[in-house]
Structure 1
């Protein structure tokens, strides 16, 4: 199974408010321990870090509450900078730790991911001094749950790993601040209900907003301040600067329900930096196979628009799956685009309400339409559908290095021999 860099951990550690009253040392770690982002941990240090995680693993459910308890106890003003409800925050902390451990022996991808993380953290008002406080409390938390197994050598290894993470984030944020704002105000200019629990929302930013079709965007709403959620634009950049999102109201989803049922034209949301690598590889000349389901149609639609905008002539085979015909809300646009561009072919598969996103019929059509071994594969939609499609394509010869997919899902696909790093 591959572990992909997951952007939903981006606010796992840091506050979500520019007001800062913390007073830790401005150094991320003591100067003697700082090795910079070029530091490479030894095999022994990597083994120590992973062994310590094994020791702490039985306490993973307790770890986030303890960490934030230590953080808020030592730095009381920090509590006001986080959302009132910390349940999602707890989950993100665990995933952030797993990510660090997963990439600790891959400095190139660790630095790359952390650089994106640091740029995105600007929307929270994160400052250099925050990293020291977080690192101090993180190590205290790990030491608490590791107990007697926590040694000076383990503490040193974790310090080096965390310092590399903190410095990559901090340096990237500083460079980014010289080029663009941390957040963009975006006014809703169009709000259209597609059906129960689904809406198309178009916004216009107050300043130019750069992104590429296939990327995702974090959004904060006025109804739930300090809480950010990710949505994929359904279009490539337009001359008028508008961006369209397809939003489904999920059970318990505060942001999605507010956007679908409460938002209206004139309301203003805030956008963070566009991120993600599910974009067309400019170095590839291979044809493309895309599989999309549900609101996962949005980034694939944007990807197709981007190809047309850039004059890409690679052939694109697009498969769209849904449980019912009513859920194929973006299909008409895609079919219209296929009539305009000879390099685009679109096929839809509808099954029934008991099958996830039309997966059974979709996979049969996908399998019969191959072979795909010479294609780049782009997947977007519900996790079960994506995993099933990924396995089918993987067994058909598509190597992991040529998979590009929704970063909120981990795929468990067979690897014909190639190895891919985080970022696709």
Structure 2
């Protein structure tokens, strides 16, 4: 019997080379059914056009084990409260989505495909609606920027204070919206463990075409207000583990690792921590001084920096997965990986080759898309 996942992937394959037209059809159908839905989306729809459709298709196509993603779907439903989404909106999105795929799939579209998309979408929607319904926290909080500092040509580190306390765990991320790009939300990791004063630190790199990241790096200033949605993510410390830890980071993937280090400095005495940072050139290692200060005061922390594109660099050279594999052995360690999608994927492949159990690997990939 053909699996549900196979049916979904086969049906999406009928339109995969026409995704742009499917997205245009989807939004046109959605806004025609309810013009007020347009107010839920950013002004610049060219930025948004593939995001919602892409997220739905990704969730549907990876629907091999519903029990494995239900927790994530519930957290996603809680997060979507920031868009003022109601249960009725889910049914409107389903009608527009299936209509768009059916219209561009041609004669090979059949009743089996239609039923599969209906069934899986209904399950996803039910979990997201349940997650939103069970959350009693506000959908987002207003926060004031109290400090903003450029740490390089395209990197900024800023601190803000929510007007209402935000409960989170070190290693989690949140969605941010600023008034420079209204209704455009992007996810960023909190770079500290919870503090008594409630402040949050963020590290942002201005991506080439990143509307939000560019605004946060180049325009944001002290006194500006942000909106911060509910925390998400599971790249948190395992309270039951006593294994030593390896952090592998690149770029602003340093942010969640700094939060985890912040938590460890408060109680760790027995676990050795190895932090591997990979950048293209030496000048890309922002926040070097603060990390070195942590290492000086915490003898259990070792930092290894490596560059990939600077020939005269006196330290480690090469792609960070290769550098990690040259050290070790690592079979009895917990791994936390954070950075660009390409860096994270390359590191995960290398850890698989090194036979690191997947149950001991947590990761987050960062993009402004």
Same fold, TM-score > 0.5, yes or no: yes
Whether the aligned pair in 2 keeps the contact of 1:372 and 1:397 (CA below 8 Å) is: no
Q: Relative to structure 1, is the Cα distance of residues 264 and 408 closer, same or farther in structure 2, using a 3 angstrom cutoff?
A: closer
Q: Check if 1:385 corresponds to 2:343.
A: yes
> C-alpha separation between the residues in 1 aligned to 2:16 and 2:282?
44
* Shift in Å, 1:59: 2.2
Match of 1:247 in 2: 204
Moved more, 270-279 or 329-338: 329-338
The partner residue of 1:220 within 170, 174, 177 is 177
> C-alpha separation between the residues in 2 aligned to 1:228 and 1:98?
20
Q: Could you list the runs of 5+ residues in structure 1 that have no partner in the other structure?
A: 1-41, 410-424
Match of 1:103 in 2: 62
CA RMSD, Structure 1 to Structure 2 (Å): 2.3
> C-alpha separation between the residues in 2 aligned to 1:408 and 1:342?
30
Match of 2:152 in 1: 195
* Shift in Å, 1:45: 4.6
Q: Could you list the runs of 5+ residues in structure 2 that have no partner in the other structure?
A: none
Whether the aligned pair in 1 keeps the contact of 2:146 and 2:223 (CA below 8 Å) is: yes
Match of 2:20 in 1: 61
Work out which structure has the larger RCO, using CA pairs closer than 8 Å and 6 or more positions apart in sequence. 1
SS at match of 1:95: helix
Give a deviation string over 1:6-62, Cα, whole Å, max 9, x none. Answer: xxxxxxxxxxxxxxxxxxxxxxxxxxxxxxxxxxxx956554333322222232232
Whether the aligned pair in 2 keeps the contact of 1:60 and 1:94 (CA below 8 Å) is: no
Match of 1:39 in 2: none
Moved more, 80-89 or 59-68: 80-89
Whether the aligned pair in 2 keeps the contact of 1:323 and 1:354 (CA below 8 Å) is: no
Alignment of 1:256-405 (within 5 A): 256-309=213-266, 311=268, 313-352=270-309, 360=318, 362-405=320-363
Whether the aligned pair in 2 keeps the contact of 1:110 and 1:165 (CA below 8 Å) is: no
Q: Check if 1:48 corresponds to 2:7.
A: yes
Equivalent residue pairs, number: 364
- TM-score if structure 2 supplies the norm length? 0.91
Q: Relative to structure 1, is the Cα distance of residues 343 and 221 closer, same or farther in structure 2, using a 3 angstrom cutoff?
A: same
More strand by share: 2
The partner residue of 1:86 within 45, 67, 78 is 45
> C-alpha separation between the residues in 2 aligned to 1:312 and 1:124?
43
Q: Relative to structure 1, is the Cα distance of residues 354 and 163 closer, same or farther in structure 2, using a 3 angstrom cutoff?
A: farther
Moved more, 226-235 or 191-200: 191-200
The partner residue of 1:116 within 75, 88, 92 is 75
Match of 1:73 in 2: 32
SS at match of 2:223: coil
Give a deviation string over 1:132-181, Cα, whole Å, max 9, x none. Answer: 111111121122122333333332222111111111000110101x2x11
- TM-score if structure 1 supplies the norm length? 0.80
